[in-house]
Structure 1
């Protein structure tokens, strides 16, 4: 039987995109403008392209799905403050690549105030930006900077005829990314669904695993579920690492065989309406943890659970990470992988040999989502609407000074968490992670 299809949340509506644009413009001087290009198609090889994915910042403000678009925001413009440039209608090309919305469709379907096709971009853009003192754009994006410099150059060349080129460029990222950091109710619904789809995929991979399969075959189970549930596919390159491959943090080859007696680490998440799921689970290929695997796994699991319990408004990612480091250090001492007192090992940061990464990152339209981690040099307090991962791990090298039963074991456990007014909501809790739960699921394959 085919897998059950989960009910899908409603897409974000035009009213919310309009509210986002309006709120952003309210922060800007009245004589400024925003210049924000969308993404373009990227060639894969010769006449084929990679599947198109809209740029996250552009999507956040428009929801517009086509390549080669440009958003211009013009605070105070009486004819309409949001202007979109898009691909020209072209019946001949549309026979090959699908119907384009065109300017009329952009206004009708996506609620912008005004729209032009790209054939009119240069002349219309110059007229729209004439007299705007400051252009806000993503200064780390070469395409945005090139576009802004071209407009300023053309207007400067006509200054004697009365044109007024922009005087300065300013970075849009701090304002825009601060807004993206706090998720709306509609965004949380999409992230919750991406988490639920990702969770089903991980359960499916656990149920399918057995010695003799290849890592890519578990990857196929995961990504079939992502697509079956209406996602665009993986939110990032799926990691399926058996045995010592789990100790490579961003292992993506996924070509090796899965062996009896090894663990397999899967770090994979679905993308749904451009919002990302991000889950890691580690489990035994044969369905049963060895004594050493179980002991190390329980150290990571306890640290992760304590970290999840610590997520609440007012705390910081730095404080959560410090707690994880303490717990992992104490656990490694108990298992004989570190020696001495916990305080001494915290002081010399011995745990970094086994745990080299941070515990959390923001999650949203990007799997490593935007937003500052510090404010005025201090860790940023968590607030309702933020979404983060909690992902402690231990990666034991196959070195001579490591007790043999622990060599080459890599374990990570990761969940997606939304900060609420009361504390937190774990968006990916449907995937088993207790040892007994994992073994029971795999016993019933």
Structure 2
């Protein structure tokens, strides 16, 4: 891995929080991701399943975490199973976790080779009454691929039909939504790498450059700072392209007079950052561009103030909609009749701002977190309003990553990334 090793105390703490919520005489199982094929002998770059990483720090394929707090033998209350390694594997594939190294990373004292899993699992199931399965229940999930977790669940239900089943997700939604201080530091580090990429791009962008060249500038800066790369597929959208919310082709030339919307973020140690900035390709805002830009910035700043303990996610978006409506009226994009006659299920402002303002972030860009419960300290949210005007060939979105604090004043992890129009112009026009 490119990143510096994470202190295993984080993973020990995470496991303790999880097992504290397990039912008596229960086992929880977490599987690594598969390595997914492309074609022939080609595969996609491996990315670890976030839940097993959150609980163990194990960042390689063919790994299984078993948690059984009530196991009769104390050494079987936490077990990490990893793929057996040897000199041949080390030569052909590189270093894999040894038993000693797995302990150093995870803090789990009992480490077995994966080949021992079925025998040990069968023995422990004779002591257990309930199994926690790790299903993907994220509100945005639409996964069609059968995962390693899916296959395990099928196998386990067939082998042990008399056991009871529970869901790990109910516990993980709450735990992963509220970050430990060390996790916030890792997200902050990812945001710092994103800042370096953005400052590099401000010096690079000018009329005539191509969107994919800008993407290349980001990836260069990210990787040279120990990131694996982008936390999600980057959006580099100039001119009209900014009105396509998930534009990822990044294959057009940036024209003089256009605005350039960039939704990018570096990952670090599997933790995400998520930034949006919109800049003038030629380094100078027109009067109209500046009007729209400042309106979006005001909405972002006011929305950020609402991210305090006790806020309800749905009600928060309603309030942000009111703030955006006021700005759109001031810009002349809406009039009072539009607002008076609006459909409550699709308010008038949605014509120009059709997506949500905030989502949890952390190990996943759209991270786990309970959305129907009040916001709490140490939750991390994006704040990302936008105004999209296809008729004016312009879309502007601004986005920062924000930590909710006990004191009520949110902590902006991207406060050092340029966002004020004057600073952006100054940085783009330095000789």
SS at match of 1:234: coil
Please give the alpha-carbon distance, in whole angstroms, between the structure 1 residues aligned to 2:221 and 2:342: 42
**Which residue matches 2:30?**
36
**Aligned-pair CA distance for 1:310:** 2.3
- For the 8 Å contact 2:12–2:106, the answer to whether it is kept is no
2:288 to 287, 292, 307: 292
**Which residue matches 1:441?**
427
Counterparts of 1:26-425 in structure 2 under 5 Å? Answer: 26-77=20-71, 78-80=73-75, 81-140=77-136, 143-155=148-160, 166-340=162-336, 344=340, 349-374=347-372, 380-398=373-391, 407-422=392-407, 423-425=409-411
SS at match of 1:194: helix
Please give the alpha-carbon distance, in whole angstroms, between the structure 2 residues aligned to 1:121 and 1:238: 39
Please give the alpha-carbon distance, in whole angstroms, between the structure 2 residues aligned to 1:436 and 1:320: 30
Please give the alpha-carbon distance, in whole angstroms, between the structure 1 residues aligned to 2:24 and 2:99: 26
**Aligned-pair CA distance for 1:181:** 0.8
What is the root-mean-square deviation of aligned Cα atoms in Å? 2.0
SS at match of 1:233: coil
- For the 8 Å contact 1:199–1:279, the answer to whether it is kept is no
After TM superposition, the structure 1 stretch with the greater mean CA deviation from structure 2, 386-395 or 50-59, is 50-59
- For the 8 Å contact 2:80–2:110, the answer to whether it is kept is yes
SS at match of 2:81: strand
Query: Which digits, 9 at most, give the CA deviation of each residue in 1:203-228, with x for residues without a partner?
Result: 22122100000001111111111111
Q: Does the C-alpha gap of structure 1 residues 303 and 50 become closer, same or farther in structure 2, counting only changes over 3 Å?
A: same
- For the 8 Å contact 2:80–2:112, the answer to whether it is kept is yes
Query: Which digits, 9 at most, give the CA deviation of each residue in 1:9-63, with x for residues without a partner?
Result: 9743222212221221121122110011011212233223222211111100000
Please give the alpha-carbon distance, in whole angstroms, between the structure 1 residues aligned to 2:165 and 2:256: 59
TM-score, normalised by the number of residues in structure 2: 0.91
Please give the alpha-carbon distance, in whole angstroms, between the structure 1 residues aligned to 2:162 and 2:98: 28
Q: Does the C-alpha gap of structure 1 residues 243 and 202 become closer, same or farther in structure 2, counting only changes over 3 Å?
A: same
**Aligned-pair CA distance for 1:369:** 0.3
SS at match of 1:266: strand
SS at match of 2:390: coil
**Count of equivalent residues:** 416
- For the 8 Å contact 1:329–1:345, the answer to whether it is kept is no
Identify unmatched segments of 5+ residues in structure 1.
1-7, 156-164, 375-379, 399-406
Identify unmatched segments of 5+ residues in structure 2.
137-145
Please give the alpha-carbon distance, in whole angstroms, between the structure 2 residues aligned to 1:98 and 1:143: 23
Please give the alpha-carbon distance, in whole angstroms, between the structure 1 residues aligned to 2:84 and 2:185: 34
Please give the alpha-carbon distance, in whole angstroms, between the structure 1 residues aligned to 2:318 and 2:350: 12
- For the 8 Å contact 1:126–1:151, the answer to whether it is kept is no
- For the 8 Å contact 2:382–2:402, the answer to whether it is kept is yes
After TM superposition, the structure 1 stretch with the greater mean CA deviation from structure 2, 107-116 or 299-308, is 107-116
**Aligned-pair CA distance for 1:284:** 0.3
- For the 8 Å contact 1:139–1:172, the answer to whether it is kept is yes
**Aligned-pair CA distance for 1:171:** 0.9
**Aligned-pair CA distance for 1:93:** 2.6
**Aligned-pair CA distance for 1:298:** 1.4
After TM superposition, the structure 1 stretch with the greater mean CA deviation from structure 2, 305-314 or 62-71, is 305-314
- For the 8 Å contact 2:17–2:175, the answer to whether it is kept is no
Please give the alpha-carbon distance, in whole angstroms, between the structure 1 residues aligned to 2:109 and 2:215: 44
Query: Which digits, 9 at most, give the CA deviation of each residue in 1:348-387, with x for residues without a partner?
Result: 511111111000000100000001211xxxxx32211100
Please give the alpha-carbon distance, in whole angstroms, between the structure 2 residues aligned to 1:343 and 1:11: 53
**Aligned-pair CA distance for 1:86:** 1.0
Please give the alpha-carbon distance, in whole angstroms, between the structure 2 residues aligned to 1:56 and 1:264: 32
Larger radius of gyration: 1
